[in-house]
Amino acid sequence: MYHDNDRAKMFNRRAAMLAGGKTALAGALVARMYYLQVVEADKYAMAAHDNRISMRLLAPPRGLILDRNGTAMAVNQHNYQVRVIAERAPSLDYTLDALSQIITLTDHDRGRIHKEAKRRRSFVPITIRENLSWEEVARIEVNAPDLPGVLIEVGQSRFYPLESLGAHILGYVAAVSETDLTGDPLEDLPGFRIGKAGVERIYDMAMRGRAGASSVEVNAVGRVINELERKEGEPGVDLTLTLDMRLQEYAAQRLGEESASVVVMDVHSGDLLVMASTPSYDPNAFNRGLTHEEWKDLSTNLRSPLQNKAISGTFAPGSTFKLVVALAALEAGVITPDQTVLCKGHMELGSIKFHCWKKGGHGSVDLNGAIKGSCDVYFYEIARRVGIDKIAEIANRFGLGVPTGIDLPNERPGLVPSRAWKRHAMKQPWHPGETLINGIGQGYCLTTPLQLAVMVARIANGGHKVVPHVARDLIVEKAALPRSVPDWGSCGVSQKNLALIRKGMFAVSNEPGGTAFRARIEQDGMWLSGKTGTAQVRRITMRERESGVKKNEELPWKERDHALFVAYAPEEKPRYAIAVVVEHGGGGSAVAAPIARDIMIEVQKRERTRTADREKSPGGAG
């Protein structure tokens, strides 16, 4: 009996303790629920709302690129994409098999789609192919009942309607890589593309625009249920270039299949009307994605279609360099225009002979005659007198061997050597014979076609340091920002000496015996003044000189001379400068000069037409 009472008391105590614990636990639970549902109600209601509502960025339309006359060079077009939602398809392979009967799907496409399907949720659309033609879209839509899970989406992609024309200036857009990240939220958008080359790259931020936003309602696993609000992005700024695409097209056609480049610029404003580099490429291929074969063809082509030769191709300037050598000698006072040098076909310095291009020589020539006939011996002698350092100084002032400052990427600076340069770069002293070789634009000298055009522009405009550019205006809401023409500053040379150089250039193109006389412009008011150049790419041995040097056409392409010609026009009131370089093209007078002549005729004809149209328009001069 005693033991039964003890057991009852113990049971009652334990029951009371258990009941107390349950009561305490229940009280704590009620208190916690009250805290969460009443005290913190607003906080968790906001969190639940944020979890339900998702904000998504919308890519804005990219700014357009136009030429100076409003011709579209880069636009946005509809990009038809076919996508699949895996959860709506009976099986991914079944859908892809059915779709492959309608459009082309490669094994690479299939592999990529399966990889994306494994790492994405089943309700997230997967892009099967982009840039579908309208015919492909139509076939898919007609067969839609037999393609469960397949849908067509319409986005935007960059399109270059002129294809290869102007490609090196435009550049192209491509997907964002890790090295391109700037913190712009747009860069995180799937499929977003940025400028990778040319003006697309230089003015990329302005042309991107600002992102729009879409407010959507999603469920707990992230599936979109409803779009609540949508605000489209702000389009990027349109860009107008200085180029005239009709002239660009004419220049490209004139260069033909040559590996060549031509630059035409306004000598006063620095506007580039033409910058052609051949062969070219289609930037649309980069936007849609190059195949392995396409990339191999472009990257291994000996004529370098991907390179903008106008700013990245460096060539020995040959005899075109004689203009700054003559100017340096005049500025240094080591020659006068009337002083003569006897050319017997070669010049001796120690035991070495330096040959003139004209076998037998030019006889006694003064400054004007030396420029006109491009006498090498004359320029050997005046280069020896003035020295390489003074030549380099004047050449740099006129844009050679230094970056021009153009608003395009990947410009190469070229090289005009000096004593200090050789000591620093090669750890060797300068030799007198090197002055002679570089005095005719050979040796270490390297320039770009754009630099040669800048040199001529500064000679033609009276020694003003004009800087070339391809961007004319940034257009905001169809209103051009006001243009400012800077004070270019002076090259710091005598106007009298510049006039002497221009006189020699006039003789080259317009007087019998001038090296470009056969390529002259005969129309009044269009005369041009120029300078030919032929740059050797290999050393000619004494044995070859004695036995007879092979003609260019008899040599392998890579061993042929470069053909160059520089000029300005019209002679009386210089307005345009031109530089033509034909890689391994042969003689400057026979190859480059006729190309430059034809282009400059076209340039001046178009200017006359524009002037006549302005005069006829309301408010014109008549």
Q: Active-site positions?
A: 319
Span between the terminal Cα atoms of the chain, in Å: 136
Give which of 82, 83, 80, 67 is closest to 123, Cα–Cα: 83
> Quick one: tokens of 491?
């090259």
Helix ranges (H only) for 269-338 are 284-288, 292-300, 309-312, 322-332
The 3-class SS string of 384-414 reads: HHHCHHHHHHHHHHCCCCCCCCCCCCCCCCC
Cα 284 from Cα 169, distance rounded (Å): 14
DSSP assignment letter at 222: -
Secondary element (H or E) of residue 241:
strand 238-241
Contact 400, 447 (CB under 8 A): yes
Angle at 101 between CA 95 and CA 102, to 5 degrees: 95
What's 186's DSSP letter? G
- Those residues whose C-beta lies under 8 Å from the C-beta of residue 173, and which sit 6 or more positions away, are 62, 158, 193, 194, 195, 196, 200, 286, 287
Contacts of 515 (CB under 8 A, 6+ apart): 319, 372, 373, 374, 508, 532, 588, 589
Say how far apart CA 563 and CA 318 lie, in whole Å. 9
Residue 292, CA atoms < 13 Å, CB-side half-sphere: 1
Q: Are 464 and 490 in contact (CB under 8 A)?
A: yes
- The residue type of 612 is A
Beta bridge partners, 261, equal 277, 581
- b/e map of 562-585 (b: 16 or more CB within 10 Å)? bbbbbbbbbbeebbbbbbbbbbbb
Q: Bridge partners of 74?
A: 65
How is residue 280 written in tokens? 């070219």
Q: To 5 degrees, how large is the angle CA 108–CA 110–CA 116?
A: 105
Residue type present at position 242: T
| DSSP H or E stretch at residue 432 | helix 432-438
The answer to whether the peptide bond before residue 337 is cis (omega within 30 degrees of 0) is: no
* Residue 222 φ/ψ region, left for φ over 0, alpha for ψ in the -120 to 50 degree band, beta for the rest: left
Place of tokens 């050979």: 442
The C-alpha angle 179, 180, 185, rounded to 5 degrees, equals 125
